[in-house]
Amino acid sequence: MTHRMKMIPALLISGAILLIGSASPGSAQGAGYVTAYSDYGNGQVSAPVRHAQFGYQVKLPGGPWIYCQRNSLFIARIFKYESPCADTLRRQSIDFWETQQEDQGGSR
């Protein structure tokens, strides 16, 4: 195995670490706004994000501020370029009912 081939796994791992470290709640570092896109064709929604005592929060449309959740699919979401706040906003607003079915093991 050549030296160049040995470096590929290390580069992939370091790239993943950079993606994880650079994931931010909004489109820019820190608080601001985030846009969530439906996984089911329900459109999109944008909402403000703020830093709170225990992490970042996103404001649900017409509702309360809730903490952005890092679920078990967080790594998969990173590679889809979706932040934890965008995922929380999507799951708790435009894809709410579909998310309920997913969480109960049902299909659409």
75 membership: H or E segment, kind and range: helix 74-79
What pLDDT digit, counting tens, does each position of 14-73 carry?
444 333 333 444 443 457 999 999 999 999 999 999 999 999 999 999 999 999 986 544
In the predicted model, what is the mean pLDDT of residues 4-13?
49
Per-residue model confidence (pLDDT) at position 12? 46
| Boundaries of every domain in the chain | 3-103
pLDDT band at 93 (very low <50, low <70, confident <90, very high): very high
Eight-state DSSP code of residue 69: P
In the predicted model, what is the mean pLDDT of residues 71-97?
75
Full-model pTM: 0.63
| 8 A C-beta contact, residue 37 and residue 44 | yes
61, 64, 70, 71 alpha-carbon torsion, rounded to 10°: -80
Per-residue model confidence (pLDDT) at position 71? 54
Per-residue model confidence (pLDDT) at position 61? 96
Please calculate the CA angle 101-105-108 and round it to the nearest 5 degrees.
45
What 3-state class would DSSP assign to 79? helix
